[in-house]
Amino acid sequence: MKYLTAISILLLSHGLYAGGHDDSEPSFEGLISSEIFDLDGKMDMHVERRESCGGDTPKHFHPASGTLVYVLDGVSQSKSTGEWKKYTKNEYWFERTDWVHGGDADTPAMSEDDCQSLLIIRVTEKDKDHTVFIK
């Protein structure tokens, strides 16, 4: 019984200690689905569907051969053209390869009521990451 009590205390104290730290990696919110399609044995096409409201996008870039973001519903925004622009249902934008974005000081604020449903398509070299987050 002493061992069970000691192990329980150890596990609980570890949970309390770890709970005070956020060592999680940056990521995008609201992943609904994600699929990878083999194009020719050398390239993959990544197709994601995301839904989120408000929130900030962490700084990142895509080593993929560009990224197409299509707004299925709601409102989103991008600075892919050099100027901030809002995009609504049935609009899309293209993000060029290796463009560092997200976490910009001049990002227009979006309220928690500004929701978006996005379809995101990227083409990468086989087995390569499509997104790299910058800490």
Per-residue pLDDT, 23: 52
Interval 50-79: pLDDT, tens: 999 987 788 888 887 789 999 999 999 999
CA distance 65 to 115: 27
What type of residue is 18? A
**Which residue do the tokens 């990521």 mark?**
27
Q: Which domains does the chain have, with CATH numbers?
A: 30-133 (2.60.120.10)
* Segments of the chain scoring below 70 in pLDDT: 1-27
